[in-house]
């Protein structure tokens, strides 16, 4: 047993007394002061980093908001550019209507040419006409104005007449067709 007590005492006591150093109160204050200074410096660095990131975010947010407004202002610029020649044709047609001596057939042909040019320009931009007459009524595509007695049994529940054409832009409905349904 004595051997065990000696071993326990040896393990509890440090082998080398040089490794054990006791801090004096002055050293502890000095170390805690250094730690406090380091912590304050780290807090200041983190605060500075946060403020810079926040400022960068605010600048980004303002810049994107400004770009978004600019985009909406000029979003139709391409469409307007391709429609300007059609507008010029309408101007020339108006002047032609004011001239005396032109027959209505010539004026009618001119207006038809302008219409075709205008429609082709819109088609090139993705506009498609909706075919409605004779089709089954679909509330996702059509707006029913009224119902009338069906002229024939096969038109019952179908579109009898189209009051205003519907249009797609690419595959999205941009205007519903206003229709009359047979019942």
Tens of pLDDT, residue by residue over 93-107, are 888 888 877 788 888
Ramachandran area for residue 104 (φ above 0: left; ψ -120 to 50: alpha; else beta):
alpha
Task: Quickly state the pLDDT bin for 65 (edges 50, 70, 90).
Answer: very high
Q: Which residue has the tokens 């069906």?
A: 150
- What pTM, to 2 d.p., does this model score? 0.57
Tens of pLDDT, residue by residue over 99-142, are 877 788 888 888 999 999 999 999 998 999 999 998 999 989 99
Chain-centroid distance, C-alpha 41: 43
Reference 108, options 96, 100, 91; nearest CA is: 96
Residue 90 CA to residue 84 CA, distance in Å, equals: 10
Residue 160 CA to residue 137 CA, distance in Å, equals: 10
Residue 148 CA to residue 75 CA, distance in Å, equals: 42
Residue 16 CA to residue 30 CA, distance in Å, equals: 26
Assigned superfamily of 128-183: Head domain of nucleotide exchange factor GrpE (2.30.22.10)
Strands, E, within 53-116: which ranges?
Answer: none
pLDDT at 4: 52
Task: Quickly state the pLDDT bin for 21 (edges 50, 70, 90).
Answer: low
Note whether 176 and 137 are within 8 A (CB).
Answer: no
Work out the mean pLDDT of the chain and round it to a whole number. Answer: 84
Mean pLDDT across 165-179: 92
Task: Judge whether residue 10 has pLDDT over 60.
Answer: no
Q: Domains of the chain: which residue ranges?
A: 128-183
Task: Judge whether residue 17 has pLDDT over 70.
Answer: no
Q: What is the CA radius of gyration of the chain?
A: 42
Alpha-helical runs (H) found in the chain = 2-12, 25-74, 77-98, 104-124
């Amino acid at each position: 047993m004595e051997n065990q007590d000696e071993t326990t005492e040896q393990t509890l006591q440090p082998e080398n007394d040089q490794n054990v150093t006791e801090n004096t109160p002055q050293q502890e204050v000095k170390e805690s002061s250094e730690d406090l200074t380091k912590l304050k410096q780290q807090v200041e660095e983190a605060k500075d980093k946060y403020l810079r990131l926040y400022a960068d975010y605010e600048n980004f947010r303002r810049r994107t908001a400004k770009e978004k407004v600019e985009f909406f202002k000029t979003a139709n610029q391409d469409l307007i550019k391709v429609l300007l020649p059609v507008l010029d044709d309408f101007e020339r047609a108006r002047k032609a209507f004011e001239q005396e001596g032109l027959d209505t057939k010539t004026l009618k042909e001119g207006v038809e040419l302008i219409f075709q040019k205008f429609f082709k320009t819109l088609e090139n931009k993705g506009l498609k006409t909706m075919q409605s007459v004779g089709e089954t009524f679909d509330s996702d595509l059509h707006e029913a104005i009224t119902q009338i007695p069906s002229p024939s049994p096969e038109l019952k529940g179908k579109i009898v007449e189209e009051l205003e054409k519907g249009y797609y832009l690419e595959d999205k409905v941009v205007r519903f067709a206003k229709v009359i349904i047979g019942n």
